[in-house]
Structure 1
Amino acid sequence: MKNLIYFTCITIFFMGCKAEPEVSIAEKIANAHGLEHWKNVSEIQFTFNVDRGNSHFKRAWRWKPKTGDVVMTTNDEVVSYNKATVDSTSIKADQAFINDKFWLLIPFQLVWDSGTSISEPLKEKAPISKIEMNKITLSYPNDGGYTPGDAYDIYFDDAYLIKEWIYRKENQKEPSIVNTFENHQNFNGITIALEHKKQDSDWNLNFTNIQVILE
């Protein structure tokens, strides 16, 4: 009788121990950049800049992720639209928004975007720093979206912070862009790399005027 009671208790114990869900590599990277805080974000503002020599380009954005409202401000125009009702008057602004947001929030896009494939991580020297890092390849399907078929080789450190990437248009073998992710700063729990630089170049894609507004 005692043995039966013991066996029953052990069985109940193990039945009550639920296995922790495995955290994917995409989730680990997103979590390291503050994904858990995103649910509290009501609005994010940022300016997307590209500097090269004396040339300066910028677009300013206000985005309310919970409502889908987006405002783009450039030197020439102001465009307001909602993500749920993109039409011919706002599609160019939305294409620009998708691009600029991708640069800003790539760690989160790893878990937000559907239909993608992400390779198993491996160790490899990063293309610019030549430091051995972890690497995954993010690949997009050949249909759907504004830039179908693109691929990104993403290099990240042991704290899961993205440090460099290689962008390969339409998943071609040769790199289209190789750049750093640097000057990481925290905005109300969201970690963002403010600067992206190429090797041996004065090209600098950077973000300014960032505000992360919580509910």
Structure 2
Amino acid sequence: MKKLFILSILGILFYSCNDKKKEQEIISEEQNLEIHEKIALANGLEEFDSINKIEFTFNVSVNDTLRSERKWTWDTRTDRITLIEKDSTMSYIRQDSIEEANQYIDQRFINDSYWLLFPFQLEWSDANFSEVKTATAPISKKDMQMLTVNYRSEGGYTPGDSYDIYFDDEFMIREWVYHSADGNNQMATTWEDYDEFKDIKVAKMHKSEDGSFKLFFTDIAVE
């Protein structure tokens, strides 16, 4: 009986040490991640591979007047994109070479899906990242961590653009500032009204400081 008791204690200690070792390995892996990777993971990047389809409506309102309303369906298995805008439905398959007739749709899909899934684009897109620093967010005036994302000057629809992203301790983006490549355009908006869809986190509302500009998502569905 005494031997069995000792073996039981040793077994508990063995499994406890293994659990502690695994926990330490996970913590070590997280510490070795780049900041942009932590932001992507905090928003559910690891769950994206299990997604088959995403639906969303992209809306833009200026001074409470709806200016844009585009409903998208993205079949992630086949990369088929479908756009419903006003009374027309258009569809195409994303590939390395986009036919000229489909570039109108593709450009809008890239824009709209970037707003929806920008944290994932930090991993998917070819961008350069600055060192993280503490800075005052432009809208809330709170001190946050800031990372600047610079896109290359070649390729894509808006080469050379950059973003200053302001994020909290949970690696969730709270505000950002867009800078055009030519330096003539700049826009700061919030990232708010987060919701989860199959463990994918989405900021459903983006507003300018005075609230006159609103970019928001409705009809979000993830399968």
TM-score tier after normalising by the smaller chain length: 0.7 to 0.9
Structure 1: 4+ residue segments shifted above 3 A:
18-21
Residue 149 of structure 1 aligns with an amino acid whose one-letter code is: G
Distance change >3 Å, CA 206–CA 167, structure 1 → 2: same
In structure 1, distance between residues paired with 2:170 and 2:149: 19
Residue 161 of structure 1 aligns with an amino acid whose one-letter code is: M
Which structure 2 segments of 5+ residues have no match?
1-24
Higher normalized helix content (fraction of residues): 2
Structure 1 residue 30 and structure 2 residue 26: aligned?
no
Structure 1 residue 94 and structure 2 residue 94: aligned?
no
In structure 2, distance between residues paired with 1:202 and 1:176: 15
Q: What is the total number of aligned residue pairs between the two structures?
A: 195
Structure 1 residue 65 and structure 2 residue 76: aligned?
yes
Distance change >3 Å, CA 125–CA 54, structure 1 → 2: closer
Let me know the Cα RMSD of the aligned residues.
1.8
What residue number does 1:130 align with?
141
Residue 89 of structure 1 aligns with an amino acid whose one-letter code is: A
- Output the TM-score relative to the length of structure 1: 0.86
In structure 1, distance between residues paired with 2:150 and 2:60: 25
In structure 1, distance between residues paired with 2:189 and 2:61: 14
Residue 170 of structure 2 aligns with an amino acid whose one-letter code is: A
- Any conservation in 2 of the 1:166–1:175 contact (CA below 8 Å)? no
- Any conservation in 2 of the 1:155–1:163 contact (CA below 8 Å)? yes
* 1:36-70 deviation digits (Å, cap 9, x = unpaired): 11010000000000012342120000001221100
Deviation of 1:83 after TM superposition, in Å, equals 0.1
- Any conservation in 1 of the 2:64–2:212 contact (CA below 8 Å)? no
What residue number does 1:180 align with?
190
Deviation of 1:78 after TM superposition, in Å, equals 1.0
In structure 2, distance between residues paired with 1:133 and 1:94: 34
In structure 1, distance between residues paired with 2:62 and 2:103: 27
Which structure 1 segments of 5+ residues have no match?
1-17
- Output the TM-score relative to the length of structure 2: 0.83
